[in-house]
Amino acid sequence: MAKAAPAEQLRLLELQALDSRLNQLQRQAATARANPALAELARQLEGTDSELVATATVLSDQERDLTRAEDDVQSVVNRLERDQKRLDSGTGSPKDLTALQSEIASLTKRRSDLEDVELDIMEKVDAARAAKQAAQQRKEEALERLTAIEATRDVELATIEAEAGSVSTQRSELAATFDAGLLALYEKTLARRGVGAARLFHGTSEGSGMQLSPGDLAELRKAAEDDIVFCPDSGAILVRFAEWGN
């Protein structure tokens, strides 16, 4: 059975406290990195990107239709102006002038119809522009929230990293003061069990949080003070305190 002075076994609890703190800081860092709000905002941004592309495509199509409608109206206006000048000049036979008047009337109706189409498309363009602007605003708002949360996360991670560095230094300095054999046993136990050393107090192992059975306590009473004993549940080195078996 491995042995270590009771005082040395007691100091293992200091080492365990530092290791526990390091584990806690690692969990805190993992939690900060896995913030569900970040994933949700990333999904929102992906959605707004898709929406922005879709609204931009609709706007482009509507603007192209508007340009075509404007060209159609302008073409009719040009013909109307040309025909009106011919009519005003009075050049041509009465039959030609009558035909010209009829064409002007037809073109005037055509222009009115095309202008109605143009106005309808203009309304669609305005709606498409508003939709694109709304999508852009949603993207900017989501990006702003994401940036704020990332900044908070980065500050938290920096704080955790600074403390972890300090605790790691303390841990290294403390570990260097232990007998190599005892330290190796502790670290092997820590690696396998997750807890290297735990206090046994009033019959309860703080490694498992469980009350030891009368049989286990009876076995522990047979061990010498410098014997290294282990928790039957957690596998951690049990550090026996005064009244540990009561």
Q: Is residue 1 part of a domain?
A: no
Q: What is the pLDDT of residues 99-144, one digit of tens each?
A: 878 888 888 899 899 999 999 999 999 999 999 999 999 999 999 9
List, in order, residues 6 or more apart from 118 with CB less than 8 Å away: 66, 69, 70, 72, 73
- Identify which of 214, 206, 222 has the alpha carbon closest to the alpha carbon of residue 231: 206
- The pLDDT of 163-167, averaged and rounded, is 97
Question: Is there a contact between 49 and 143 (Cβ–Cβ < 8 Å)?
Answer: no
- Identify which of 74, 54, 56 has the alpha carbon closest to the alpha carbon of residue 118: 74
* Structural domain for 139, as ranges: 35-162
Q: Is residue 172 part of a domain?
A: no
- pLDDT for 190: 95
Same domain for 117 and 24: no
Same domain for 129 and 16: no
Residue 246 clears pLDDT 60, i.e. is over it: no
Same domain for 199 and 104: no
> Domain total for the chain?
2
